Amino acid sequence: MIGKTLGLYFASRFVKSVAVVFFTIFGLIYMVDFVEMLRRASDVPKASAGLVALLSLLRTPAVSEQVMPFAVLFGAMASFINLTRKLELVVARAAGVSVWQFLTPPLLGALGIGLFAIGIYNPASALMRQRADSIETDIFKSKLSLNDSSLWIRQKSKDGQSILRAETSAESGLALGAVSAYVFDPKGKFIERVDADNARLEGKEWRLSHATITAPGIDPRLTEIYLLATNLSPSQVVQSFVSPESVPFWSLPRVVEDTQGAGLDAVGYRLRFQSLLALPLLLAAMVLIAASFSLKQTRMGGIGIMVLGGVGAGFVLYVATKLVSDLGGAGVLSAPVAAWSPAIVANMLGALTLLNREDG
């Protein structure tokens, strides 16, 4: 077994390299976002430079979270290449330390980074993103346009079921614009359609203003106010407007349960939860990929080929992860399979590649 001192040395070199890469990317993202926000806020009187800087700072952690696998990949490659060029790994191998023994500290470090990311970093970045979304909405626009992807809400009440469709929203979904409501009785029979200029949730009912009611066999009629009962609470409606990336990891199980109880689609939240659970394995897979391409110089071009090969393999893994996540969100794959399969397969392929190179 590898000694404690040597293991801590390898782990510290790995963690330091990952930290340098991650915070470098963090700073670049912040600067780019800050410049873009300044451009957008140039004609907004109440958007001061300090407020824009704060907004960019609140937005950056959530964006940086997406590039964490690449930070681990580049950091691992840098640490392995430096250890190889300084002959430290050569000395360790000569002393009888196997490949898996000196890979264990970086792998444990990657798992630790993953646990820190899902347990501490993700909840903090999600709360900061929610705050940033609130500030951005207040600064740039008071109403959110949903464009081609109109909002659909399915709800139940003591009077039956109904489906609401809205083109715009404000106040986190508590106020809707250009609303169409399709009303059904408790047996599922269509009763009427209500088109209104706007709607607002007040207590246990939607208050639709300037509504036109159309029912089978009856001429359309106009009404100033139309009240539509609902079983949704304000918190449930607000939650339906929050993206899965804006929900902290520890709150996701409760959000899934509440969303399903309200009759809303919870697949995105379930998939997000499973993806975060798979993050430590994904980071460990990046370490294996980095080791496969960095521990030995290739005969086809040295370090340049190693770096390009490792970056290419890591990019393919990341794209595969996003692809199966999209398939899971579309219902083609289940959420757990979509979240876990890329990391598991990558670990297997990385291990096989590393063993193959070691035997060669």
Query: What is the CA angle 69-74-76, rounded to 5?
Result: 90
**Residues 6+ away with beta carbon under 8 Å from 202:** none
pLDDT confidence of 110, banded at 50, 70, 90? very high
Question: Of the ranges 16-30, 46-60, 235-249, which is most confident?
Answer: 16-30
pLDDT of residue 301 exceeding 50, the answer is: no
Spatial distance between the Cα atoms of 264 and 277, rounded to a whole number of angstroms: 23
Contact indicator for 82, 177 with CB cutoff of 8 Å: no
Identity of the amino acid at 153: I
pLDDT confidence of 57, banded at 50, 70, 90? very high
pLDDT confidence of 335, banded at 50, 70, 90? low
Q: What is the pLDDT of residues 265-284, one digit of tens each?
A: 677 788 888 888 888 988 99
pLDDT, position 115: 95
Phi-psi region of 257 (alpha: psi -120 to 50; beta: other; left: phi over 0): alpha
Both tokens assigned to 206: 């939607």
In this structure, how many other beta carbons lie within 10 angstroms of the beta carbon of residue 59? 23
Spatial distance between the Cα atoms of 143 and 241, rounded to a whole number of angstroms: 13
pLDDT confidence of 165, banded at 50, 70, 90? confident
- Element housing 273 (H / E): helix 267-294
DSSP string, 115-171: HHIIIIIHHHHHHHHHHHHHHHHHHH-SSEE-TTS-EEEEEEETTEEEEEEEEEEEG
pLDDT, position 26: 94
pLDDT, position 347: 62
Tokens 């990019």 found at: 315
**Per DSSP, what are the bridge partners of residue 182?**
163, 193
Query: What is the CA angle 59-63-67, rounded to 5?
Result: 155
Whole-angstrom Cα Rg for the chain: 26
